[in-house]
Structure formats: C-alpha cells, structure tokens
A and B are shown apart, each in its own frame.
Chain A
Amino acid sequence: MKLKVATTVNGRRHEHEVEPRLLLVHYLRDNLGLTGTHIGCDTSQCGACTILVDGKAVKSCTMFAVQAEGRSLQTIEGMAKDGELHPIQQAFWDEHGLQCGYCTPGFIMAAAYLLEQNANPTEDEIRKGLEGNLCRCTGYVNIVKAVQTAAKTMSATPAKKATVTAGGN
C-alpha cells in the first residue's frame, strides 16, 4: 500500500507515492536526493537528522514521510541563499564549530530553531537548546561559540534571521 505525500521542502513542492513505513529522513535522502540531512544513530538520540517541520526542530528519523503531508520542511540545503552561507553556517565555519562535520547539519538546524525561539541565548540556554544533538569528535565549546556568534550576526542584520518557508508557526 502506497500513499501520496505532498510537501514543500526548502520552498519547492514535491509529491510522491510512498510506503507508510518510509521514514522522513529516508524520503529526504533517497526520494529527494537531499543527503545533507544525516543519519547518525538511528535511535532518536543524536540529532544528526534534525530538520525544521513547519518551523519546529524535529528528528526526521522519528517521523514517517506520510506524516509530513501538507507540511513545510526546511533542511540544511535550504539555509544558504544565492551562494551565500546562512549566518549560522558562516559562524560554524568561522568558529571552527566542527571537526568531521557529520553532526553539523543537525546542529545548524537545531541552532536555527533555538535562535528563532530566543534571539539572544545565554551559554546555558544554548547548551540546553542543543541537548538533543551529539558531537562525537570533540566537545561543544566551539559549537556554543558558533551559536553565540551567529546570534550576534543575526541580531545585527535582522533580515538574515533564520526564516522558515511558508507555513511556519
């Protein structure tokens, strides 16, 4: 049994027939070719697969593609605009907020949600806000710095605030 799923992903409409058991992360990667969303642990713990669903950070390994019917999704591929990195991406680059980079897309999407909720978070609020994302290379010092830097850049240029495509709430 296949069901129709129609979504908007990074501003583009998509429609597919999928099996109900297809996880959203597999739909993004295998059906849409959006492989920036990573599968880390497959047990809903690591947050590498974090995307925004109607503006809310969600682990796309813990949702079926059919549940995304009619929703607006944003993945890491939707962050850069016109060849220019999103301020959060730029901050991860500038502050060296990564080593191998596997967890980075998830961290950036979780940080986008965090900064949407709280434009000027304290270090504690950043650490609490990113508790659902694991980095196995090193620690979280530079990741926290990157989010602090992004918060500064984004409040200086509000137009670059993390925005979600239509349908966000």
Chain B
Amino acid sequence: MIPAAFEYARASSVEEASKLLSKFGEDAKVLAGGHSLIPLMRLRLAQPAALVDINGIKELDHIKEDGQKLRIGALTRHVTIHNSPVVKEKLPLLAEIASEVGDNQVRNMGTMGGVIAHADAAGDYPTLALILDAEIVTNKRTIPARDFFKDLFTTALGPDEVVTEVVFPVANGPHKYVKFRRRLFDWAIVGVAAQKMNGGWRIGLTNVGPTPVRAKAVEEALHQGAKPEEAAQHASDGLDPAGDLRASPEYKKHLARVLTKRAINQAEGRQ
C-alpha cells in the first residue's frame, strides 16, 4: 500500500509553511505527526498533491503557562503533553487524555495541532477544547473551539492557514475522560469528558456526531442538583450519531448515557 505521488517541502517557519501552502494550492496538506494523514494516504483515501512538513519548526513544540491559561504548541507531541509536570498540575485532564491517544509509538509522533486540524470525529482533544472554551490560534487569527469544528474532518481553517497553538484554560478540579474502545490503542467508540470548573460541570462527548458535542442538558441537570445517574440520562438528548462497524446509533446513545454517569462518578472519586 504505497501512497500516491506528491510533492514534498520542509518549512522552517510558520510564514514559510503558509507560503508553501499557497503555492501548492488547495490540495496541499500540512504534515505534522502524520499519524492520521499517512494511514489515509496509504489507503489512498487521501491523495494530497503536496505535503508541507512542519516538523522542523521547533517553536511550535512548546507548553507555556500564561496566567490562567495553558498554551500548547501545535507540534507538541502527545508524549510531551502526557509527561509535562505543568500540564499535570494545571490541566490534568489533558495529560490523562494525551496518555490514552494511540500507543507509545503513536504518542511519540502524533501532535496536538494535528489532532485539532484533522478533526476526526473520534479525536479526543477536540472534545476537551470544545467544553473548556479553548482557542485555536493560527498564523492569521484566533478561533474559539466552538466555531472551529465545522463537520466531519472539516474545520474553519483556510487553505493556507496553519494551527500554531491551542490555548486551554487552567482547570484542575475533579475530572475524568472515559474512552470506550475494544482495544487499548483504538479510537474511542464513544468518549466522555467531565471537568468541574468554576463550580459547574463541563461535559463533552466524542464520536457521537460529526463534531464533538457539549452535553449542555447534562450540565444543566447537574447544576439543578440532579444526581449523576439522573443527569446522565440527558447525555443522548438531541444526538443523531452515525452507525459504524463498531457500534449502531442506538448503542452509541446508550454508551453516551452510561459513560457520562461513569465519568462524573469517577471524577468525584466514586466507581
């Protein structure tokens, strides 16, 4: 399984990457960790005309604490996020999620910016970005996460726009990400993120629609004092997930409810 031919160029700065993307046109793709893109290219589900390799742009590989915010460079690998003492202290849910993306080999290559820009419905970081009102910073502008994920594999990014950073708020209260899958390294069949923040819950769902979903009905029920098992019944409100080889729409909705209860309980230290 050999990918279709493409042109390849290395960018040494974000400006250069953007220029190369403009030069190559709409069929060009950014190559970061490559762990979503290269598998798709091998299957020829993706046949970009050109790849702009940003792995040499070292300033995109960073984790910076900035007041009540955490700035994660687009090229920061999952392994770096998972091992970062700053992330563990300031946003432990992100460290937990990073530790469960793929396997060691995948985590050594895959990046924050890659997951965000690829916008796979089963991606884990987009759910966290959405529920925490994170911001996606590009070479041109700053986009709130709620306006970033448009559809399956579709984002607000323009053809010559490059994600440079994802900015999360600090949140170190009770938290849990429950990722339901058949094998350890698989994508989530359904995932649920729960984070307590400023006295309220933020609940997000992965892979129950084309983009991540914020379970506002669950948050509201918890705010009104509902028990986790009662509030979790609302996790499937308004969902219309697509079925796939692993799960039917009904099963995904069932999982959304069950895992939401589990996530809240486990965040609070119950089983």
A residues with CB within 8 A of B:
1, 3, 19-21, 23, 26, 42-45, 47, 50, 56-59, 61-64, 66-67, 110, 113-114, 128-129, 131-133
Contact = CB atoms under 8 A, between A and B. Distances in A.
Given A66-B8, A132-B102, A44 B35 contact: yes
Contact of B106 (A44, A67, A129): A44
Contact of A114 (B38, B39, B104, B109): B104
Contact of B185 (A20, A45, A63, A67): A45
21 contacts: A1-B7, A20-B8, A21-B2, A21-B3, A23-B42, A26-B2, A43-B39, A43-B42, A56-B108, A57-B105, A58-B109, A62-B35, A62-B39, A63-B34, A63-B38, A64-B31, A67-B55, A129-B104, A131-B103, A131-B184, A131-B185
**Residue among B1, B35, B55, B105 with most chain A CB within 10 A:** B105
Contacts of B38: 23, 44, 62-64
A88 to B, nearest CB: 15
B60 to A, nearest CB: 16
Nearest to A69: B10
Contacts of B226: none
Contacts of B31: 64, 67
A133 B103 CA distance: 9
B5 interface: yes
Nearest to B183: A131
Provide the main secondary structure of the chain A interface.
Answer: mixed
Contacts of B41: 21
Contacts of B4: 21
B105 A42 contact: no
A63 B42 CA distance: 11
Contacts of A26: 2
Contacts of B135: none
Nearest to A134: B183
Interface string B193-208: 0000000000000000
B34 to A, nearest CB: 6
B103 A58 contact: no
A157 B217 CA distance: 59
Interface in B149-195: 183-185
